[in-house]
């Protein structure tokens, strides 16, 4: 089993647990759920740099990158530097991130926020919206064509942009 398979296996357990604790109705009642999103696609089209900067504490391949990062300071720094958007990892087990990181980044800046996550369930897209994300990441290697279509349509119905990651 490769690392991506392990992450997806663990993610299924994590999402099932979160779904059992926080109902979708609670996510949809979030203060941020009905906020107007900021389009990353529009920002990229109107940009000279095209940079999407990332907040990452660690990764399975590099271990700890910077475990003491303050999300608020990073988001503000990226915004001052003129990037188009900020990618915030929300996976805890493998990357040291959380949905709270998305929330803090949202409160700290006006940039489009990409929830960088291993999305395998509609529930995670509702979470992204509830926590203030503007964009979701879909990874083609872990999804079927039908799932990519389903998740993209749900995201668009919530006015979230979709970034599709393809490796080939």
Mean pLDDT of 129-156: 98
Tokens of 106: 């949202």
pLDDT given at position 63: 75
Q: What is the DSSP annotation of the chain? A: --HHHHHHHHHHHHHHHHHHHS-HHHHHTSTTTTSPP--HHHHHHT-SS--EEEE-SEETTTEES-TT--HHHHHHHHHHHT-SEEEEE--STTT---HHHHHHHHHH--S-EEEE----SHHHHHHHHHTT-SEEEEEGGGS-HHHHHHHHHHHHHTT-EEEEE---
pLDDT given at position 124: 98
pLDDT given at position 149: 98
Return the CA Rg of the chain: 15
Mean pLDDT of 121-147: 98
pLDDT given at position 136: 98
pTM (two decimals): 0.94
HEC per residue, 128-144? HHHCCCCEEEEEHHHCC
| pLDDT greater than 90 at residue 41 | yes
Q: Rounded mean pLDDT of the chain?
A: 94
pLDDT given at position 59: 82
Question: Picking from 16-25, 57-66, 100-109, 150-159, which range would have the lowest pLDDT averaged per residue?
Answer: 57-66
Mean pLDDT of 11-38: 97
| pLDDT greater than 90 at residue 64 | no
| Beta bridge mates, 59 | 63
Domains of the chain (ranges, CATH numbers): 3-165 (3.20.20.70)
Using the structure block, give the residue that is written with the tokens 């805890």: 92
Dump pLDDT digits (tens) for 68-90: 778 999 999 999 999 999 999 99
| pLDDT greater than 80 at residue 66 | no
């Amino acid at each position: 089993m490769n690392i991506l398979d392990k992450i997806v296996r663990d993610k299924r357990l994590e999402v099932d647990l979160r779904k059992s604790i926080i109902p979708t109705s609670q996510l949809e009642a979030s203060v941020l759920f009905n906020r107007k999103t900021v389009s990353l696609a529009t920002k990229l089209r109107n940009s000279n740099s095209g940079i999407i900067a990332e907040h990452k504490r660690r990764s399975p391949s590099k271990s700890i990158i910077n475990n003491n990062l303050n999300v608020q300071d990073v988001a503000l720094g990226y915004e001052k530097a003129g990037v188009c958007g900020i990618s915030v990892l929300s996976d805890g087990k493998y990357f040291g991130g959380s949905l709270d990181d998305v929330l803090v980044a949202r409160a700290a800046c006006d940039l489009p926020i990409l929830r960088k996550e291993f999305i395998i369930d509609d529930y995670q897209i509702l979470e992204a919206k509830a926590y203030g994300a503007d964009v979701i990441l879909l990874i083609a290697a872990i999804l079927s064509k039908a799932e990519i279509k389903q998740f993209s349509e749900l995201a668009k119905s919530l006015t979230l942009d979709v970034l599709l990651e393809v490796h080939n």
